Protein backbone atom coordinates (compact mmCIF):
# COMPACT_ATOMS: atom_id res chain seq x y z
CA UNK A 1 0.00 0.00 0.00
CA UNK A 2 1.79 3.11 -1.24
CA UNK A 3 1.49 6.59 0.17
CA UNK A 4 -1.49 8.56 -1.08
CA UNK A 5 -1.01 12.18 -2.23
CA UNK A 6 -2.73 13.24 1.01
CA UNK A 7 -0.32 11.16 3.11
CA UNK A 8 2.66 12.67 1.31
CA UNK A 9 1.41 16.20 1.80
CA UNK A 10 0.79 15.63 5.53
CA UNK A 11 4.32 14.28 5.98
CA UNK A 12 5.90 17.12 4.00
CA UNK A 13 3.91 19.80 5.82
CA UNK A 14 4.67 18.31 9.25
CA UNK A 15 8.41 18.25 8.71
CA UNK A 16 8.54 21.58 6.92
CA UNK A 17 6.99 23.21 9.99
CA UNK A 18 9.62 21.64 12.24
CA UNK A 19 12.43 22.54 9.86
CA UNK A 20 11.39 26.19 9.66
CA UNK A 21 11.30 26.31 13.45
CA UNK A 22 14.60 24.57 14.19
CA UNK A 23 16.80 24.84 11.07
CA UNK A 24 19.71 22.93 9.57
CA UNK A 25 21.56 21.87 12.71
CA UNK A 26 18.96 20.58 15.14
CA UNK A 27 17.55 17.06 15.45
CA UNK A 28 14.28 18.73 16.44
CA UNK A 29 13.80 19.51 12.76
CA UNK A 30 12.80 15.82 12.50
CA UNK A 31 10.84 15.87 15.78
CA UNK A 32 13.68 14.06 17.61
CA UNK A 33 14.03 14.78 21.30
CA UNK A 34 17.64 15.94 21.05
CA UNK A 35 20.84 15.70 19.04
CA UNK A 36 22.18 13.29 21.67
CA UNK A 37 19.39 10.76 21.24
CA UNK A 38 19.68 11.05 17.46
CA UNK A 39 23.38 10.17 17.67
CA UNK A 40 22.59 7.26 19.98
CA UNK A 41 20.19 5.84 17.40
CA UNK A 42 22.78 6.26 14.67
CA UNK A 43 25.40 4.45 16.76
CA UNK A 44 23.09 1.48 17.29
CA UNK A 45 22.24 1.28 13.59
CA UNK A 46 25.93 1.32 12.68
CA UNK A 47 26.52 -1.75 14.84
CA UNK A 48 24.77 -3.98 12.30
CA UNK A 49 28.17 -4.97 10.91
CA UNK A 50 31.45 -3.73 9.50
CA UNK A 51 30.49 -0.73 7.38
CA UNK A 52 34.04 0.01 6.26
CA UNK A 53 34.06 0.55 2.50
CA UNK A 54 30.37 -0.28 2.12
CA UNK A 55 27.63 1.33 0.05
CA UNK A 56 24.72 2.69 2.07
CA UNK A 57 21.19 3.79 1.26
CA UNK A 58 19.57 6.06 3.85
CA UNK A 59 15.76 5.99 3.55
CA UNK A 60 14.19 9.12 5.00
CA UNK A 61 17.61 10.74 5.20
CA UNK A 62 16.45 14.17 6.37
CA UNK A 63 19.40 16.55 6.28
CA UNK A 64 22.00 13.82 5.85
CA UNK A 65 22.93 13.64 9.53
CA UNK A 66 23.50 9.88 9.39
CA UNK A 67 26.03 10.47 6.63
CA UNK A 68 27.76 13.03 8.82
CA UNK A 69 27.85 10.53 11.69
CA UNK A 70 29.23 7.76 9.48
CA UNK A 71 32.01 9.87 7.97
CA UNK A 72 33.22 10.64 11.49
CA UNK A 73 33.26 6.97 12.49
CA UNK A 74 33.64 4.92 9.31
CA UNK A 75 35.67 6.35 6.43
CA UNK A 76 35.40 5.17 2.84
CA UNK A 77 31.66 4.66 2.68
CA UNK A 78 29.54 5.31 -0.39
CA UNK A 79 26.30 6.99 0.66
CA UNK A 80 23.00 7.83 -1.06
CA UNK A 81 20.08 9.43 0.76
CA UNK A 82 16.43 9.75 -0.24
CA UNK A 83 13.72 11.88 1.35
CA UNK A 84 10.26 13.09 0.42
CA UNK A 85 10.58 16.56 2.01
CA UNK A 86 11.86 19.25 -0.41
CA UNK A 87 13.27 21.43 2.40
CA UNK A 88 15.29 18.50 3.72
CA UNK A 89 16.61 17.67 0.26
CA UNK A 90 17.73 21.24 -0.34
CA UNK A 91 19.26 21.51 3.13
CA UNK A 92 21.07 18.17 2.88
CA UNK A 93 22.54 19.09 -0.49
CA UNK A 94 23.66 22.42 0.94
CA UNK A 95 25.35 20.75 3.92
CA UNK A 96 26.90 17.92 1.91
CA UNK A 97 27.34 18.95 -1.75
CA UNK A 98 29.62 15.96 -2.34
CA UNK A 99 26.79 13.47 -1.69
CA UNK A 100 23.90 12.30 -3.85
CA UNK A 101 20.52 13.05 -2.29
CA UNK A 102 17.32 12.01 -4.03
CA UNK A 103 14.08 13.94 -3.63
CA UNK A 104 11.19 11.52 -3.87
CA UNK A 105 8.94 8.82 -2.47
CA UNK A 106 11.04 5.75 -1.69
CA UNK A 107 8.32 3.31 -2.80
CA UNK A 108 7.84 5.12 -6.13
CA UNK A 109 11.52 5.64 -6.91
CA UNK A 110 13.28 3.19 -9.22
CA UNK A 111 16.82 2.38 -8.12
CA UNK A 112 19.18 1.16 -10.82
CA UNK A 113 21.54 -0.51 -8.37
CA UNK A 114 21.75 -2.32 -5.06
CA UNK A 115 23.50 -1.29 -1.84
CA UNK A 116 25.39 -3.22 0.80
CA UNK A 117 23.13 -1.82 3.52
CA UNK A 118 19.85 0.09 3.69
CA UNK A 119 19.01 2.07 6.82
CA UNK A 120 16.05 4.07 8.13
CA UNK A 121 16.18 6.12 11.31
CA UNK A 122 12.88 7.53 12.56
CA UNK A 123 11.31 7.01 9.15
CA UNK A 124 8.59 4.66 10.39
CA UNK A 125 7.49 6.66 13.44
CA UNK A 126 5.17 9.18 11.82
CA UNK A 127 1.57 8.04 11.70
CA UNK A 128 -1.26 10.22 10.40
CA UNK A 129 -3.09 7.98 7.94
CA UNK A 130 0.05 6.07 7.00
CA UNK A 131 -0.35 2.44 7.95
CA UNK A 132 2.10 -0.12 9.27
CA UNK A 133 1.53 -2.05 6.04
CA UNK A 134 2.98 0.85 4.05
CA UNK A 135 6.07 0.92 6.24
CA UNK A 136 6.39 -2.86 6.06
CA UNK A 137 6.33 -2.54 2.27
CA UNK A 138 9.18 -0.05 2.55
CA UNK A 139 11.17 -2.46 4.71
CA UNK A 140 10.59 -5.18 2.15
CA UNK A 141 11.93 -2.96 -0.62
CA UNK A 142 14.94 -1.99 1.51
CA UNK A 143 15.69 -5.68 1.98
CA UNK A 144 15.48 -6.35 -1.76
CA UNK A 145 17.82 -3.43 -2.48
CA UNK A 146 20.45 -4.53 0.04
CA UNK A 147 23.09 -7.22 -0.39
CA UNK A 148 24.26 -7.46 3.23
CA UNK A 149 21.53 -6.16 5.49
CA UNK A 150 18.94 -3.65 6.66
CA UNK A 151 18.75 -1.63 9.86
CA UNK A 152 15.88 0.50 11.15
CA UNK A 153 14.46 1.78 14.41
CA UNK A 154 10.89 2.07 15.71
CA UNK A 155 8.93 3.34 18.69
CA UNK A 156 8.01 0.68 21.27
CA UNK A 157 4.27 0.45 21.95
CA UNK A 158 4.79 -0.19 25.66
CA UNK A 159 6.73 2.99 26.29
CA UNK A 160 5.39 5.56 23.82
CA UNK A 161 1.91 6.84 23.13
CA UNK A 162 0.37 5.53 19.93
CA UNK A 163 -1.54 8.61 18.80
CA UNK A 164 -1.11 11.19 16.07
CA UNK A 165 1.39 11.92 14.82
CA UNK A 166 3.23 8.90 16.24
CA UNK A 167 3.06 5.25 15.26
CA UNK A 168 4.31 2.58 17.68
CA UNK A 169 5.06 -1.11 17.23
CA UNK A 170 5.11 -4.42 19.05
CA UNK A 171 8.58 -5.96 18.47
CA UNK A 172 7.00 -9.43 18.26
CA UNK A 173 4.73 -8.35 15.42
CA UNK A 174 7.62 -6.65 13.63
CA UNK A 175 9.71 -9.81 13.97
CA UNK A 176 6.83 -11.89 12.58
CA UNK A 177 6.71 -9.68 9.49
CA UNK A 178 10.50 -9.64 9.09
CA UNK A 179 10.60 -13.43 9.27
CA UNK A 180 8.87 -13.42 5.88
CA UNK A 181 12.03 -11.75 4.52
CA UNK A 182 14.80 -13.53 6.44
CA UNK A 183 15.40 -15.71 9.46
CA UNK A 184 18.48 -13.72 10.40
CA UNK A 185 16.80 -11.11 12.61
CA UNK A 186 18.17 -9.27 15.64
CA UNK A 187 16.20 -6.84 17.78
CA UNK A 188 18.14 -4.45 20.01
CA UNK A 189 16.59 -2.77 23.06
CA UNK A 190 17.89 -1.02 26.17
CA UNK A 191 19.59 1.99 24.61
CA UNK A 192 16.51 4.26 24.84
CA UNK A 193 13.39 3.25 26.73
CA UNK A 194 10.87 3.95 24.00
CA UNK A 195 12.95 2.69 21.04
CA UNK A 196 14.05 -0.57 19.52
CA UNK A 197 16.27 -1.29 16.53
CA UNK A 198 15.97 -4.15 14.07
CA UNK A 199 18.78 -5.73 12.05
CA UNK A 200 17.95 -7.94 9.06
CA UNK A 201 21.08 -9.65 7.82
CA UNK A 202 21.58 -11.64 4.65
Query: What pTM did the predictor assign?
Result: 0.91
Q: Across-strand partners of 168?
A: 155
Considering only 47-61, 67-81, 106-120, 160-174, which range has the smallest mean pLDDT? 160-174
* pLDDT for the residue 106: 97
CATH at 19: 3.40.50.150
Is the predicted pLDDT of residue 128 greater than 70, yes or no?
no
User: Which among 82, 80, 84, 74 has a CA at the least distance from the CA of 49?
Assistant: 74
Per DSSP, the three-state class of 65 is: helix
The structural domain count of the chain equals 1
Neighbours of 127 (CB within 10 A): 18
The tens digit of pLDDT for each residue in 53-67 reads: 999 999 999 999 999
Once rounded to an integer, what is the mean pLDDT over residues 45-74?
Answer: 95
User: 31 is in which domain, residue-wise?
Assistant: 5-201
Amino acid sequence: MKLSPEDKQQIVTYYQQHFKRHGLHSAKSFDWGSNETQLMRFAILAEIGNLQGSSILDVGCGLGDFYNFLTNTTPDIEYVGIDIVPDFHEGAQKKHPEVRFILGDFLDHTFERSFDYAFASGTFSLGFEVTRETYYEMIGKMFLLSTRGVGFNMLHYKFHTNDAPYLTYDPKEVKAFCSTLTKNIEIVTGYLEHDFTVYLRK
